[in-house]
Structure 1
């Protein structure tokens, strides 16, 4: 990694890092272990004085056993140093079946106190009856009061052991990114899985002597000290993440939708400030998900894709914002062929002259495909690929989808027309946000990132490498596109994304979902939609890029479109981001003069 920065104590204090408290917990656990070791050493001295000759006589039967000392797992912080996931000592109960005198009675008593059902109680009794083993978990991570009550009974063969337990400090907040560990502290999902080796540290080892299969008190010695894992500092802002989750959940419920995604990026760095997904469960209740669906599920983006088609038209020089096209209200692609397809605009109109500006401001499907046809399918494909479609973002997040973007030579029939307005390829919400961010970032693609820096066991902070970047469109094209997208918000399909006193640029999208029968209309004649808005602000000097996508808003509602379902939620998230990031309007920026 690059850019090592040793963190001073004052810098730690200023940034509210809680590394010290985390390390103190680790030292406390180590201190307990050391005290136990000293106690055992005292017993060792007694045994060697009183029973030394006996031990020597049995030396042939004596051997050593090595035990792993689990390293303390690294802490996960948000970007401001607030703890998100920590490892704390917790008490687990175990039993030595060889010392349990009455397995059935012991299992019954333990089951009652721990709330086991009959099946779990029987399973425990069977384990306690097997004398071939010396260790069986009764239950891991037991409530302290319950554990104390059980241990006070002095049940034969039942003991407690302190173990590290992974805790998400803010409950389920950002679980979709952080992920989870398994019962043994190994990362199983999310960043806990992706960075498992980094977080896990290096286990130590302790050797003890055995006599006839049993440990000799006082013979334990540490061969290698455990080294704690590296801490992760996320790009996530805890406050913004919480508000994003709650605002998205509220909007999904308002629309009786199936779910939704929201993404907030730092425009210039690609750092993910917040990312959330909501899904309605089978019981009808919508909940924030623990799966990062915004990065792992893809869908056809619909009219948001017009951003990339129009950008390609301008960047290649085949069109300008003032270029005029004679746009019909109905267009038949490849007439008199097997690939013939009738294409409509979202609103009925006669043959109408439209400038490229009009086409994107009012989201004309036919105007877009006419402009994109001058670019050509091979070149349009190349632009879409450069915008980030068809391959992963570079996060290397577990399960991340690359979406689908076929080579242009494999586009069949009308796909040569529909790809231009968002049908015939798919993307994740994160990919789509990163693609629009190209326009906001003056034509340069920057890979999203979740991890801002790491903190090693010595307390030194290491910044993670910046996301990979490459130029997609010229800075001049990006500036022109920003102006066009500001028009979408001020006078076009995105007026409900307006924010008082600050200019927003963005694009609406409403895409039909493919049904179980493989078409866009279900067997019962129903349609369903993804409603999306992606935008950035302030338009003249973007600081944040925000996506909101609503999955299956009520299809009978007027609020089923990107401009009506997603844009209002965007406006709320944008207002929140302005406050949280202290974003000021640019000079002369007063936002739109059009009433929403």
Structure 2
């Protein structure tokens, strides 16, 4: 009876249940192993790699297989499978033997490593972020059943000494962008993981010929910035030098192409290494820090006055040191007698009093309208994480003083990027371009993922923009000895404004200078902002830095020299 039962069971298994039993056996041996994709690269406008993922491995052990390990002595004919240490046979078995072989390669203590190898787990991580060279050294130990790897990656950034740390940001432990451009373009840079299926033996090793399914990983796309790394480096250096020279708390610099709104450089004096915790927690000041622009805001007022036909550049004004409006007293930065100035002269002398006098018929609504049209209180369109729109309250809420301080850049705040685009709008014949920092990008499938920029908007007529450039050139001429670029004309505006200090009182100041160069055919706009510089005034402190950067740009991009200036708008009468 027993024999008959065995025959019956065997017949059932072989003839009836053979398929299901075989499938169950195969399923128990089959494993699915993920194949990790690599994160895409970030390059500058010239293709210089700024961030990339490099091949790394996580080394792990199969404790059960290690417990059964017995080294094979080398006899000269089995070099592909035998085990040795410095040409000598390996002593012992199990975890002790494996530890002796593996510890020197991993740079670990043999006793400590041996402790990790003891147990029954099939997956114990021994070391992460192992470079390919170390992985190849482990391969030569012939421990395929005992020691295994998982392909991972490590985010590597150009060794820039903090050149673009807060701009690039960084990724978290899973490789996801969490700050800066890494976060901004995460969808484009993220790849698609693959997988492979195979059957493994009793010791966890892959059984040859059993790989049934494999889907290769697809690496992430490529992001190309508008940033020129050479210009970025130079701007960073110029700011660092200016900070030391003037004792400023910090500095910000922006370089923008006039014709398309591309940001060529965006730097500050912070020195966070890309990928570091500091870079992930501190966004670029040029994007997030806002300040009262001070007298650079007079450009908006002058442009509005001309565009609305309220004044011409040559209109005459007798400008005293101070004036009173609605019980509020306003005065210029330094005492002077009554000056006979044109509107162009008011901008040249940066007169608060003259600006208020010229704006007598300039309504509150129009004041607000032009500040808004020039981009203040608006998104730049960059889409940069943490970007600030600035602060501009509705004109209906302006108090008696703010109604006039907005005329000369106080009572609202803006970022360095926004103020750069104010001058770029004038330099671009009155058209405000959407700013961009991403020149092009693709995702893992090769699809175009380049962010859309704000559409160009005409703010002032081309004729008004031309008059504004002429007036700005007269202003910049005052500083030609300390902020001039030999062979090139500059159209610019300086600004100085009181801002809140650490104590909340108006004990700090901002000095800024923004210029279009060359003035006769503007190619670039350069902005420099310094916090609490010695010398205070933007023309004296930030102006020379703008000139230094401008000179570098003219040489690097081989911009032709400017022709002599003719028929400048009169500034006095």
Q: TM-score, normalised by structure 1?
A: 0.75
Quote the offset at 1:199 in angstroms: 1.4
Does the residue aligned with 1:279 lie in a helix, a strand or coil?
Answer: coil
Q: 2: distance between equivalents of 1:384 and 1:126?
A: 69
Query: Do the aligned residues in 1 keep the contact of 2:197 with 2:214 (CA within 8 Å)?
Result: yes
| Counterpart check, 1:204 vs 2:184 | no
Does the residue aligned with 2:177 lie in a helix, a strand or coil?
Answer: coil
Q: 1: distance between equivalents of 2:203 and 2:411?
A: 67
Q: TM-score, normalised by structure 2?
A: 0.78
2:88 corresponding residue in structure 1: none
1:387 corresponding residue in structure 2: 374
Q: 1:486 to 1:205 in 2, by over 3 A?
A: same
5+ residue gaps, structure 1: 1-51, 282-286, 336-340, 521-526
1:262 to 218, 235, 253: 253
| Counterpart check, 1:165 vs 2:154 | yes
Query: Do the aligned residues in 2 keep the contact of 1:311 with 1:481 (CA within 8 Å)?
Result: yes
Query: Do the aligned residues in 2 keep the contact of 1:70 with 1:204 (CA within 8 Å)?
Result: yes
Deviations 1:266-315 (A, max 9, x none): 1101111111011389xxxxx99973210111111111101111111111
Does the residue aligned with 2:171 lie in a helix, a strand or coil?
Answer: coil
Deviations 1:10-57 (A, max 9, x none): xxxxxxxxxxxxxxxxxxxxxxxxxxxxxxxxxxxxxxxxxx999838
1:414 to 392, 395, 401: 401
2:484 corresponding residue in structure 1: 498
| Counterpart check, 1:187 vs 2:173 | no
| Counterpart check, 1:328 vs 2:320 | yes
Deviations 1:381-427 (A, max 9, x none): 11111101102100111111111111111212211011111111111
1:451 corresponding residue in structure 2: 438
| Counterpart check, 1:246 vs 2:233 | no
Quote the offset at 1:326 in angstroms: 3.4
1:542 to 517, 522, 531: 522
Query: Do the aligned residues in 2 keep the contact of 1:75 with 1:87 (CA within 8 Å)?
Result: yes
1:424 corresponding residue in structure 2: 411
1:508 corresponding residue in structure 2: 494
| Counterpart check, 1:178 vs 2:168 | yes
**Which segment drifts farther, 368-377 or 417-426?**
368-377
Question: Where in structure 2 are the equivalents of 1:74-473 lying within 5 Å?
Answer: 74-95=40-61, 134-136=123-125, 138-141=127-130, 160-171=149-160, 172-209=162-199, 217-218=207-208, 219-279=210-270, 291-335=283-327, 341-454=328-441, 467-473=454-460
Work out which of the two has the higher radius of gyration on C-alpha atoms and give 1 or 2: 2
Query: Do the aligned residues in 1 keep the contact of 2:62 with 2:121 (CA within 8 Å)?
Result: no
**Which segment drifts farther, 463-472 or 434-443?**
463-472
Does the residue aligned with 1:227 lie in a helix, a strand or coil?
Answer: coil
**Which segment drifts farther, 441-450 or 361-370?**
361-370
Q: 1:468 to 1:426 in 2, by over 3 A?
A: same
5+ residue gaps, structure 2: 1-17, 68-94, 273-277, 569-573
Quote the offset at 1:591 in angstroms: 14
Q: 1: distance between equivalents of 2:201 and 2:366?
A: 76
Quote the offset at 1:93 in angstroms: 3.7
Quote the offset at 1:145 in angstroms: 6.1
1:487 to 467, 474, 481: 474
1:573 corresponding residue in structure 2: 549
Q: 2: distance between equivalents of 1:216 and 1:151?
A: 18
Q: 1:389 to 1:221 in 2, by over 3 A?
A: farther
Q: 2: distance between equivalents of 1:572 and 1:361?
A: 22
1:552 to 516, 522, 532: 532
Deviations 1:197-239 (A, max 9, x none): 1111322232345799967634444443322222122111121
Q: 2: distance between equivalents of 1:496 and 1:125?
A: 69
Quote the offset at 1:136 in angstroms: 3.3
Deviations 1:329-385 (A, max 9, x none): 1233431xxxxx432211102343432111110111121123234212211111111
Q: 1:212 to 1:433 in 2, by over 3 A?
A: same
Q: 1:344 to 1:588 in 2, by over 3 A?
A: closer
Q: 1:146 to 1:161 in 2, by over 3 A?
A: closer
- Count of aligned pairs: 513
**Which segment drifts farther, 449-458 or 436-445?**
449-458
Q: 1:536 to 1:224 in 2, by over 3 A?
A: same
Q: 1:60 to 1:543 in 2, by over 3 A?
A: closer
Quote the offset at 1:466 in angstroms: 6.0
Q: 1: distance between equivalents of 2:566 and 2:52?
A: 44
Query: Do the aligned residues in 2 keep the contact of 1:503 with 1:590 (CA within 8 Å)?
Result: no
Deviations 1:232-267 (A, max 9, x none): 221111211111111211111111211111011111
Does the residue aligned with 2:178 lie in a helix, a strand or coil?
Answer: coil
Cα RMSD of the aligned pairs, angstroms, is 4.0
Q: 2: distance between equivalents of 1:329 and 1:566?
A: 25
Quote the offset at 1:538 in angstroms: 1.1
Query: Do the aligned residues in 2 keep the contact of 1:303 with 1:422 (CA within 8 Å)?
Result: yes
Query: Do the aligned residues in 2 keep the contact of 1:502 with 1:537 (CA within 8 Å)?
Result: yes
Q: 1: distance between equivalents of 2:485 and 2:514?
A: 14
Q: 1: distance between equivalents of 2:453 and 2:21?
A: 61
Q: 1:186 to 1:370 in 2, by over 3 A?
A: same
Does the residue aligned with 1:188 lie in a helix, a strand or coil?
Answer: strand
Query: Do the aligned residues in 1 keep the contact of 2:129 with 2:154 (CA within 8 Å)?
Result: no
1:562 corresponding residue in structure 2: 538
Does the residue aligned with 1:68 lie in a helix, a strand or coil?
Answer: strand
Quote the offset at 1:461 in angstroms: 8.5
Query: Do the aligned residues in 2 keep the contact of 1:113 with 1:146 (CA within 8 Å)?
Result: no
Query: Do the aligned residues in 2 keep the contact of 1:176 with 1:276 (CA within 8 Å)?
Result: no
Q: 1: distance between equivalents of 2:402 and 2:131?
A: 58
